[in-house]
Structure 1
């Protein structure tokens, strides 16, 4: 045990003392937020705002079409239709001309057949869909009016229904749509972080073992320690490095949520002057406050506990596999045929967990979070939605037992493979090492 502790300490200190580790640990959350902002700005920058001239021969759309963030409508006379179309190619400021025919005998099918959009260049699909949506809304209103329904009744018909959800299993808390969205977002973030870090740090262990093996340094090291102690020391050392990063990031996240929760005031209902820009900023502030409030209402101690336990056990489980692979091969090219066995179960757990968002307590969610090969990812994806204590306990016991068994198997492979050179490992060869 003393040798394992010394190797673990060396691996840990070697990693955390690097400037790259300190910089990445402190800047990673900022970089993630900045990356998300850049992606948002890229989508925003690619949005188009089109000016569409409308020839409304029916007279039905003139007072009902309203400009929006996608399209500006400019109505022109039917007498100018031909000249507008002829000059459209040379008029770069106009994206197109929408021609709406006369409505005869309330024949809306004929209106749809005769309507056409003439453009001078390709317009975005979202712009076209917005125009179609605006036309459909007007036709819908006209059809309802034709049935004798008044505008006030129409507004009442379109009124959405808000259903309050009270969760008796969660101290009668109200599950709002925003709270569910926050849980879904947190679930995806935790799941993806676990998936990525298990692979990143697992590959780091594999490369470390492979490097020492190729440099023949391991021959000197195992003259003082047992191969199993060397393997466990490497795995535990890198585990502590990952755990240190997570503790720092979790602390930063909780502090950020607390600051957002207390740093903004509620949005006033009436804003003097009707300044929309100020209103939008206040709406963003209010949304940030509501999101942070929803986060702080969750059972954070349990979420953090489950996240750390399943990440650590999952990481040790898969790192044992990666360490065995690193000891069994002579170069990184040969690792490809074996790493697939480690990556596939994780991918199955991650992509299968996307279906958990709609039904976290369904049979697929249950089995993915219980089976040890997928539970490190699936259980973390489920935990923001609430998981019965007995399922968490059962999953931990199964994952712990499987991890111990995997360490035992990896130790057998590591003990033989770490000193094997020039002998290409096969599955049959690995089975002999395990039996021997």
Structure 2
């Protein structure tokens, strides 16, 4: 046991003392937020801003087609139609001309057949759909008006219905759409983090074992410690490295949520009542405040504890497999035939968990979060929505038992494979090592 502690300590200190570890641990959340901001700016920069001149021969669409930030309508006289179209090519300030024919005998089908959009250059699919949607809305209003329905009645007719949801299992707390969206986002984030870190750090263990094996350093180490102690020391050392990063990131996330929740709220209270322009600029801040408030309403102690426990057990479970693979082969190329067995169950759990968003307590969600091969990902995906305590306890018990069994199996493979060179391990041969 003392040897496992010493190897774990060495592996842990070797990793955390690196400048790259410290820098990435602190900068990773900032880089992630910055990356999201850059993606948002990229979408914003690629938004189309089109100018369309409208020739409305029917007179029905004048002042009904409303301009927006992405699409501007300019109504022109029908007498200028031909000259406008002839001069359209090469006109950099104009993207197209929308020609709406006369409406005869309320024949809207004929109106649709003869409506055409003449464009200067290619326009985006979204722009075209927006024009179609705007025309459709005007025609819909005209048809309803012919039925004798007033515009005020039409507005009342289109009014949406808001359903308030009260969850008796959570002390009669209101379960809003925003809260559901926050839970879904947190679920996906935790699921991806678990999936990626198990693979990244599992491969790191495998490469570390493979490197020591190829350098023959392991022969010297094995003379002082048992192969099982070396394997467990490496796994636990890298596990502590990952947990250290998580503790730092969780702390930064909670502090960030508190800052958003308090800082933006105080700013919004000081906004002058009539300053609509300033208020509109703070829409993003208001959304961020609501999101952070919804996050802080979640049972964070339970979520963090379950996340750490399932990540820890899941990581040890899969790292044992990776350590066994690293000891059984001579080079990294040969690992590809075995790593698939470790990646496939995780992928099954991750992609299967996407269906949990609509029904977290369904049969698929239950079994994915109970079966040890998928539970490290699936249970973490379910926990923001609330999971019965007995299911969490059962899942942990099964995962713990399977992890201990996998450590035992991996230890048998590691004990034989770590000192074998030149022989390409097959599944049949590995099975003999396990049985022996």
Same structural fold, with TM-score higher than 0.5 when normalized by the shorter chain: yes
> Is residue 196 of structure 2 the alignment partner of residue 196 of structure 1?
yes
- Secondary structure of 1:265's match? helix
In the alignment, which residue of structure 2 is the partner of 1:160? 160
Shift of 1:265: 2.6
In the alignment, which residue of structure 1 is the partner of 2:401? 401
- How far, CA to CA, are the matches of 1:146 and 1:268 in structure 2? 47
Structure 2: gaps spanning 5 or more residues: none
In the alignment, which residue of structure 2 is the partner of 1:73? 73
- How far, CA to CA, are the matches of 1:242 and 1:110 in structure 2? 66
Range with bigger deviation, 65-74 or 317-326: 65-74
Superposition CA RMSD, Å: 1.2
What do the CA deviations read for 1:320-378 (whole angstroms, capped 9, x no partner)? 00000000000000011110110111111111111111111111111111111111001
Kept in 2, the 8 Å contact 1:182–1:294? The answer is yes
- How far, CA to CA, are the matches of 1:352 and 1:178 in structure 2? 23
Matched ranges for 1:424-435 at <5 A? 424-435=424-435
What do the CA deviations read for 1:177-224 (whole angstroms, capped 9, x no partner)? 111111111001000000000000000000000000000000000000
Kept in 1, the 8 Å contact 2:412–2:434? The answer is yes
- How far, CA to CA, are the matches of 1:100 and 1:269 in structure 2? 48
Structure 1: gaps spanning 5 or more residues: none
Shift of 1:109: 1.2
In the alignment, which residue of structure 2 is the partner of 1:385? 385
Shift of 1:105: 1.5
Change (3 A) 1:271 1:133: farther
In the alignment, which residue of structure 2 is the partner of 1:45? 45
In the alignment, which residue of structure 1 is the partner of 2:369? 369
In the alignment, which residue of structure 1 is the partner of 2:169? 169
- How far, CA to CA, are the matches of 1:229 and 1:157 in structure 2? 72
Shift of 1:262: 1.0
What do the CA deviations read for 1:272-328 (whole angstroms, capped 9, x no partner)? 55542x122322222111111100100000000100000000000000000000000
> Is residue 415 of structure 2 the alignment partner of residue 412 of structure 1?
no
Range with bigger deviation, 412-421 or 97-106: 97-106
Shift of 1:260: 1.1
- How far, CA to CA, are the matches of 2:369 and 2:273 in structure 1? 52
Shift of 1:114: 1.0
Q: TM-score, structure 1 length as denominator?
A: 0.98
Aligned length: 435
Change (3 A) 1:283 1:148: same
- How far, CA to CA, are the matches of 2:337 and 2:40 in structure 1? 38
Change (3 A) 1:41 1:58: same
In the alignment, which residue of structure 1 is the partner of 2:141? 141
Kept in 1, the 8 Å contact 2:271–2:279? The answer is no
Kept in 1, the 8 Å contact 2:9–2:237? The answer is yes
- How far, CA to CA, are the matches of 1:422 and 1:265 in structure 2? 66
In the alignment, which residue of structure 1 is the partner of 2:22? 22
In the alignment, which residue of structure 2 is the partner of 1:219? 219
- How far, CA to CA, are the matches of 2:45 and 2:374 in structure 1? 39
Change (3 A) 1:260 1:348: same
In the alignment, which residue of structure 2 is the partner of 1:118? 118
- Secondary structure of 1:118's match? strand
In the alignment, which residue of structure 1 is the partner of 2:93? 93
Kept in 2, the 8 Å contact 1:70–1:130? The answer is no
Shift of 1:270: 8.6
- How far, CA to CA, are the matches of 1:77 and 1:230 in structure 2? 85
- How far, CA to CA, are the matches of 1:15 and 1:207 in structure 2? 14
> Is residue 305 of structure 2 the alignment partner of residue 305 of structure 1?
yes
Shift of 1:106: 1.4
Kept in 2, the 8 Å contact 1:52–1:97? The answer is yes
- Secondary structure of 2:282's match? helix
Q: TM-score, structure 2 length as denominator?
A: 0.98
- Secondary structure of 1:117's match? strand
- How far, CA to CA, are the matches of 2:46 and 2:169 in structure 1? 45
Kept in 1, the 8 Å contact 2:372–2:395? The answer is yes
